[in-house]
Amino acid sequence: MIAFLGMGLLGSNWVRAMRKRGEDVHVWNRTASKATALEEVGAKVFATPAQVVKGVNRIHICVSDDNAVNSILEQASPNLDKDAIVIDHTTTSTSGALERTEKWKKHGITYIHAPVFMGPQNAHDSTGTMLISGDQEVVKIIEPELSKMCGTLMNLGPDPKEAAAYKLLGNHLFLSLTAGIADTFTLGKAMGLSRDDVSEFIDKMGSTPIKARVARILLGNYEEPTWELTMARKDARLMTEETERAGMTLDVMPTFGAHMDHLIAGGFGAKDWSIVAKEAVSK
């Protein structure tokens, strides 16, 4: 039996894929309608975190941030079985991942962090990359099931915070690339170059990741998010905090974060995060 808490863009599609494989899944979501929408595929909906985890030995969480994960675990704790394994796919801070691992171990509960580089379609199709780190005996137990949820399962070793670190590192790369590309288009516009001129120049420079990012930006599809702007902003905040804890500073990300804040305040938080470049590539 599987419990899944968090029916957002990833969680809901993971559940759909699990049901296609014939797995029994209990679901919960803070906004109940997102959970009840999965009744059509045979998922069983529960009203509280405590109810959804009762009698379940494999529990998945995919929510917004550290605070949400902590709150859910506290609410679920009365019914968490001692032999249950909690697998958290949320992008969190490194300190949060470590603290939860140690805290719940004292209560006899196994918590392991497994964030992903995946969009909603990846979750539905079981493609993309999942990171995992922590107790290697636990990893060995759950590896076959997690491998069904992704294309690549990347084991980063026994350090409980390593998966969180590499997840933030990867997301920083994506955000930084997009911020830089947006600046490139803005500079081109300022110098009288068209967006096609800039796009062709980047294409000639020849970098596959940059080409993919440019294609996403030029698509201008903000209504079907693969990564919501509010979630991208949360990750940018985590990156800034991680750097500040080490006594260092980022140059681009704080300013870029302020730009995202402005868009979120304008009501664009639920849009695809590439909306940060909308004005830069407007004709």
pLDDT digits (tens, 9 = 90+) for 164-181: 999 999 999 999 999 999
Rounded Cα–Cα distance for residues 155 and 46 (Å):
32
Is 62 in contact with 86 (CB distance < 8 Å)? no
Looking at the structure, tell me whether residues 230 and 264 fall in a common domain. Answer: yes
Q: How many domains does the chain have?
A: 2
| pLDDT reported for residue 206 | 77
| pLDDT reported for residue 205 | 86
Burial state string for 216-228 with b = 16 or more CB within 10 A and e = fewer than 16: bbbeeebeebbbb
Looking at the structure, tell me whether residues 9 and 114 fall in a common domain. Answer: yes
Domain that holds residue 264: 164-281
pTM higher than 0.95 = no
Looking at the structure, tell me whether residues 54 and 188 fall in a common domain. Answer: no
Looking at the structure, tell me whether residues 19 and 126 fall in a common domain. Answer: yes
pLDDT digits (tens, 9 = 90+) for 118-145: 999 999 999 999 999 999 999 999 999 9
Query: Taking residues 7-27, what's their average pLDDT?
Result: 98
Residue 84, SS3 per DSSP: coil
Q: End-to-end alpha-carbon separation of the chain, Å? A: 52
Q: What is the CATH number of the domain that holds 168?
A: 1.10.1040.10
192: left (phi over 0), alpha (psi -120 to 50) or beta: left
Q: Amino acid identity of 220?
A: G
Rounded Cα–Cα distance for residues 80 and 59 (Å):
9
